Structure 1
Amino acid sequence: MEAAIILVFVIGYLAITLEHNLKVDKLIPALVMMAICWALISLGLESFPNWFDSAKHSLVEGFAGFAPEEKMHLMEETLLHHLGKTAEILVFLLGAMTIVEIIDYFDGFSTIKDFVKTKKKTKILWLFGFLAFILSAIIDNLTATIVLISILQKIVKDRDVRIWYAGLIIIAANAGGAWSPIGDVTTTMLWIGKKVSTGHLVGYLFVPSFLCMAVPTFIASFLPVFKGNLEIEEVEEETTKSKFSSIMLYLGLGAIVFVPIFKMVTHLPPYVGMMLSLGVVAVFAEMYSSSKFSISDFNRAEESEAHAHHSPVHHSLSKIELPSILFFLGILMAVAALESLGILFEFAASLKEGMPMLGTELHHTGVSDLVMLLLGVGSAVIDNVPLVAASLGMFSEPIDNELWHFVAFSAGTGGSMLIIGSAAGVVAMGMEKIDFFWYLKKISWLAAIGFLVGSAAFMVTRTLF
């Protein structure tokens, strides 16, 4: 039965990668794959020898001897646990996307667009690279990607050029998220699990992460697509810019930055702070919306449009990419199925047995460094969250051991090598409809170079601590 579940996952994964060839939206195979995997687990529950407890990051002892009712109860609890963890991410994402859409509703991003005085493609590339690197460390790589691609859509009208920028933003955002405890879900897991501290994480990973962003950006600046200036079409805008655009931009971004502060003070999950931020931004949006539109707008608009003008929050929610949210639900819950059976845990454990030097207290040898590099590749192919979860259960090294920082770097930046290897990539894929194979051919090699350069830099920086 385990083989059947793995086969379903592989087939579903291939269907996602071949989305444009099959002419089937990627959310469909993701949802079907998730449902079938869990259905097979339920039907074959009696035959599984192991069960992975995600909360404790370890295998459940004596699972094979459990009564059928106990196994079913454990499966239901595990499914609810994974749904809860996935829902935390999705609700957080919904809140962030809604705030971004509210900012856009008031033309807020035109304020940043006005700051971009240059038309030179390479300067814009470096500007967005640095913004992604810094913003992702503050507001997390997922939200930073949403914000920057939204701004990019206002500046770069040519989609063929814009998706190149989006690809480099993914690399920069994932690199920026790796050196901050709130920048990526995997570093947050290690931080909450008391495996890394903020000071050491920044000390170990800032330089490797910066090089992981800067080297691909430097190489890309010599590519033909980034030569010359942008052709910006001067279009006469029918509607005047909202007088509240700057206020809503700073309010919206400030509300997002407030989320990690709220988490640090209250110790509540990030989505709670995001909902508070959304509520505050929504209050101001409702107050300002009546001043943005004239009465004549309602005479020309249909009733539904008039309602959207009355409520900027409703209008913003209607523009959210719901297919991306459902795809995220399907892919995370499908990976959770593999994790629950202990498949990923057993694979990681077999690596540890095959590489006994991985657990030494000395600086890791080339063999164990290779395993960490493979973890980075694995995070691109599968998902970095269960891989980091498996590593939490595998290794017993103390807090701030170099192994944990290498795990944080590899899992955080390795996902850039495939567009579905990271949350930032998935969101960019949904927002810009980027083809999997286009990214594989055009961007993956840049991400791989950045990952390898950053890994080499980490092997140097770890000797300084």
Structure 2
Amino acid sequence: MHPVSWSARICGIALLLFHLPALAAGEAYAPFGIPLDFVLFGATLLGVALFHRHTLQVALAGLAVITAYKLEVTGFPEGAGLAGLGLHLEHEAVGLVNLVGLLLGFAVLARHFEDSGVPDRLPRFLPDGWKGAFTLLAMIFVLSSFLDNIAAALIGGTVAASVYERKVHIGFLAAIVGAANAGGAGSVVGDTTTTMMWIAGVSPAELVRAFVPSAVALVIFGVPAALQQAGLATIRRQFAPHARIDWVRVAIVAFILLSAILTNVVANSRFQGLSDRFPFLGVAVWMALLLSAPVRPPEWKLLPEALKGTLFLISLVTAASMMPVEKLPPASWETALGLGFVSAAFDNIPLTALALAQGGYDWAMLAYAVGFGGSMIWFGSSAGVALSNLFPEARSVGAWLRHGWHVAVAYIGGFLALLFMLGWRAGS
């Protein structure tokens, strides 16, 4: 048995033994005034942060423990026992199916874009010196606005590894993740958290405001990160100058994205009642994928690995939906600012799910906070975890904080810019 597995089991057993008296009595327990639901949820997120190689197992185990506790002790928002669980899952089903469809669909979509040849042409537009490094970050920012932030970070990391011959500064790696997360914060197709808000009924136009703090943050962290990279290595000019663009694949990417956007607009404007009962968005993405498959076959072999990541996220989102949100701090700009720092240590997906269930947030401000805030630590966002697979040296919290200090400064600067320029706009 792997030692990490034993560590996870010991932690879980210790947690259950500590709370056994209350559980045996069938009473809700609140250590230090915190509902046990949140303690179990926090323990799950801590397990995800500590045991990176077993995140799916930790998430599934956490969901199982939380579900058992809700079944036996507190019940669900829709009722107690198995009947309450069934009603709760029925209530969450459409959102979860939409999320599964989008996550798997975007994994295939990202590979279409990578195979289009567009990433191979990007280095041709990079000037020399620190301006070239900053331009690369700006490109990642733009890519993430219409492509998943994980894909944007991976494309940016791949380009950086190529043009700098793998001599990439850790501060610049942090900036790549920051650019990917910042660019996705204002787009409903650029980040899983914004996609979740979109599915929940938040208008794409409302989230566009998040580009204001994201752009400010890009300048704040981008310049020092570019200077760090320029001081370490210069741009290599022997890249593939004759790389050709597959415009058919580019058209397929545009077709899939437009299908998703138009479907969401029509469903929420004309069939709002039905959109709560049928996963129009996820189905639209997959219909577009299947219709375009005869023209350029997708790489279906990506789906098994993508499914593991999807199950991990779905487990956390489902667990988050069971939390007693009426006991969360009231929605405010101070809470949103704090959630950004929390997202640096814990996954931003469940934080977003909790905020959506509670309501009342400025969704653009929250999208920026939980989207970009996770960039402050390498495992604080999916983009950071993905990029660390290309650059294992990034898997050091100390090095990330020491060399990527500008990301934390940029988070605060961007947040304050949004607050003072556009103010707090509470949503539903």
TM-score (norm 2): 0.73
CA distance in 1, matches of 2:241, 2:405: 42
**Aligned-residue offset at 1:95:** 0.6
**Aligned-residue offset at 1:393:** 3.4
The within-5 A match list for 1:440-455 is: 440-442=400-402, 444-455=404-415
Partner of 1:407: 366
The within-5 A match list for 1:34-53 is: 34-51=59-76
CA distance in 1, matches of 2:154, 2:255: 17
**Aligned-residue offset at 1:70:** 1.2
Q: 1:231 to 1:174 in 2, by over 3 A?
A: closer
CA distance in 2, matches of 1:166, 1:8: 29
Q: Secondary structure at the match of 1:448?
A: helix
**Aligned-residue offset at 1:91:** 0.8
Partner of 2:329: 351
Partner of 1:378: 342
State, as a whole percentage, how many aligned pairs show the same letter: 21
Q: 1:124 to 1:458 in 2, by over 3 A?
A: same
**Aligned-residue offset at 1:342:** 1.0
Q: 1:218 to 1:31 in 2, by over 3 A?
A: same
Partner of 1:92: 105
Q: 1:110 to 1:12 in 2, by over 3 A?
A: same
Partner of 1:425: 384
Amino acid at match of 1:174: N
Q: Paired residues, what number?
A: 374
Q: 1:157 to 1:275 in 2, by over 3 A?
A: farther
The within-5 A match list for 1:246-395 is: 246-248=244-246, 250-267=247-264, 268-269=280-281, 272-273=284-285, 276-277=288-289, 280=292, 283=294, 326-327=308-309, 329-330=311-312, 332-343=313-324, 345-346=325-326, 349-352=327-330, 368-395=332-359
CA distance in 1, matches of 2:396, 2:213: 27
**Is this contact kept in 2: 1:99–1:278, CA < 8 A?**
no
**Is 1:171 equivalent to 2:178 in the alignment?**
yes
CA distance in 2, matches of 1:418, 1:264: 31
Q: List runs of 5+ in structure 2 lacking aligned partners.
A: 1-22, 24-35, 265-279
**Aligned-residue offset at 1:152:** 3.2
Partner of 1:9: 44
Query: After superposition, what is the alpha-carbon deviation per residue over 1:304-325, rounded to whole angstroms, capped at 9, x for unaligned?
Result: xxxxxxxxx6xx566x596676
Q: 1:322 to 1:377 in 2, by over 3 A?
A: farther
**Is this contact kept in 2: 1:137–1:183, CA < 8 A?**
yes
CA distance in 2, matches of 1:89, 1:121: 38
Partner of 2:11: none
Partner of 2:267: none
**Is this contact kept in 1: 2:108–2:300, CA < 8 A?**
no
Q: List runs of 5+ in structure 1 lacking aligned partners.
A: 17-25, 52-58, 236-240, 287-312, 353-357, 359-367, 398-402
**Is this contact kept in 2: 1:178–1:413, CA < 8 A?**
yes
CA distance in 2, matches of 1:37, 1:187: 24
**Is 1:152 equivalent to 2:160 in the alignment?**
yes
**Is this contact kept in 1: 2:147–2:190, CA < 8 A?**
yes
Partner of 2:58: 33
Q: 1:251 to 1:369 in 2, by over 3 A?
A: same
Amino acid at match of 2:120: S
**Aligned-residue offset at 1:454:** 0.5
Structure with greater Cα Rg: 1
Q: 1:69 to 1:50 in 2, by over 3 A?
A: closer
Amino acid at match of 1:266: T
Partner of 1:21: none
**Is 1:459 equivalent to 2:423 in the alignment?**
no
Q: 1:277 to 1:38 in 2, by over 3 A?
A: closer
**Aligned-residue offset at 1:337:** 4.8
Amino acid at match of 2:311: L
CA distance in 1, matches of 2:424, 2:61: 49
Q: 1:231 to 1:127 in 2, by over 3 A?
A: closer
CA distance in 2, matches of 1:323, 1:136: 21
**Aligned-residue offset at 1:451:** 0.8
CA distance in 1, matches of 2:42, 2:180: 32
Partner of 2:147: 139
Partner of 1:232: 236
**Is this contact kept in 1: 2:221–2:407, CA < 8 A?**
yes
Which of these residues, 119, 122, 130, is aligned with residue 112 of structure 1? 122
Q: 1:102 to 1:190 in 2, by over 3 A?
A: closer
Q: Secondary structure at the match of 1:227?
A: helix
Q: Secondary structure at the match of 1:48?
A: helix
**Is this contact kept in 2: 1:90–1:329, CA < 8 A?**
no
Q: 1:271 to 1:454 in 2, by over 3 A?
A: farther
